[in-house]
Structure 1
Amino acid sequence: MEISLSLSSGHKTVQNILKTQAFTVSIADEDHVVACDYVGVVSGHKEPNKLEKAGFTYTPSSKVHAPIINELPICLECRLKDYDLDTEIMKGEIVNVSVDERVLDETGRVDVSKVKPITFDPFNNQYVGLGKVVGRAFKDGLKLK
């Protein structure tokens, strides 16, 4: 599996990823909106301890040379595949997905209502909670066959 991100080359994060050839992507959740927004708006060049200042703790990944934020329930652990300086598109191979047990249901599957993921609404510059089921993947479309 692969993930693509658009990241400006001037960010300290990009410089670190290019050095380590690895990165993690944690899923922001409703319980940590302020902290997640903070680490997104504050530069690591100006605040080297921004994770700690946001109240986050971290554990080194056992799969890649990058941190896993303990407070966020899902983390993609990735090896850098490519970074294009012209487009500022970063591609990574997902080598592991860490999931905190607190967001699993009784069968061991991820329960999105426990994850409480958020997304960015660029039309209104706000974060929106996700979780309402609106259809069944790879099944509902079969009605049109």
Structure 2
Amino acid sequence: MRKNFGAKPYLYPQPVLIIAAYGEDDTPNAMTAAWGCISSMEQVYIILSAGHKTTKNILAKKAFTVSMADVAHTTEADYVGVISANNVPDKFAKAGFHAINSEFVDAPLIEELPLALECTLESYDEVTGALIGKIVNVSADEKILNETGKIDPEKLQAITLDAANDAYLVLGKKTGNAFKDGLNL
């Protein structure tokens, strides 16, 4: 038997993304967004309402980064998601984040978060909040790489939003081999 919940945003996993951009005065800002995904090989699609300070910064600078929140920074990720930079202008620093200039776009990398997409703005729809960014580079801290130099999800320990229970969950346990195990059926 199945239980019906109606229309809800219950998709698993739902990544906890930290969107960062510089303000016009080059002050770093970041916000949490759970409404995002990869939409093509070189595009990220995120829903951000126009009233966010981060959205205004992205529109001004035409660049942003998308970091994956990890277990070690769950509290900080939650903080930048519930506190508005419109009210607390130094929330990036209050979260304990440190900005590193991206080599590829005019946006900050968050030193504490080990994986980030570096993006330029392709389009933004103010009515729907649909923001599309071109992925220019992916940068990863070497501490999350495996012995062959690839990103190791078990080391990354990215978190996902559990919207049904207002909780964060950790990702990373390998359960199979993509594009290979299915060939054994």
- Provide TM-score, normalisation by structure 2: 0.75
SS of 1:97 mapped into structure 2: strand
SS of 1:78 mapped into structure 2: strand
Amino acid at match of 2:169: V
**Mapping of residues 1-145 of structure 1, within 5 Å:** 1-143=42-184
SS of 1:16 mapped into structure 2: helix
Residues 87-126 of structure 1, C-alpha deviations (whole Å, 9 max, x = no match): 1110000000110011112221111111110010111010
Quote the Cα distance in structure 1 between the aligned partners of 2:169 and 2:64.
Answer: 25
Quote the Cα distance in structure 2 between the aligned partners of 1:138 and 1:90.
Answer: 30
Quote the Cα distance in structure 1 between the aligned partners of 2:182 and 2:135.
Answer: 28
Q: What's the CA shift for 1:139?
A: 1.8
In structure 2, runs of 5+ residues without a counterpart are 1-41
Indicate the structure with greater helix content. Answer: 1
In structure 1, runs of 5+ residues without a counterpart are none
Q: What's the CA shift for 1:3?
A: 0.4
Quote the Cα distance in structure 2 between the aligned partners of 1:21 and 1:87.
Answer: 18
Amino acid at match of 2:60: K
- Provide TM-score, normalisation by structure 1: 0.95
Identity among equivalent positions (%) equals 51
Q: What's the CA shift for 1:62?
A: 1.3
Quote the Cα distance in structure 1 between the aligned partners of 2:156 and 2:104.
Answer: 23
Q: What's the CA shift for 1:32?
A: 0.5
Quote the Cα distance in structure 1 between the aligned partners of 2:154 and 2:178.
Answer: 17
Aligned residues: 144
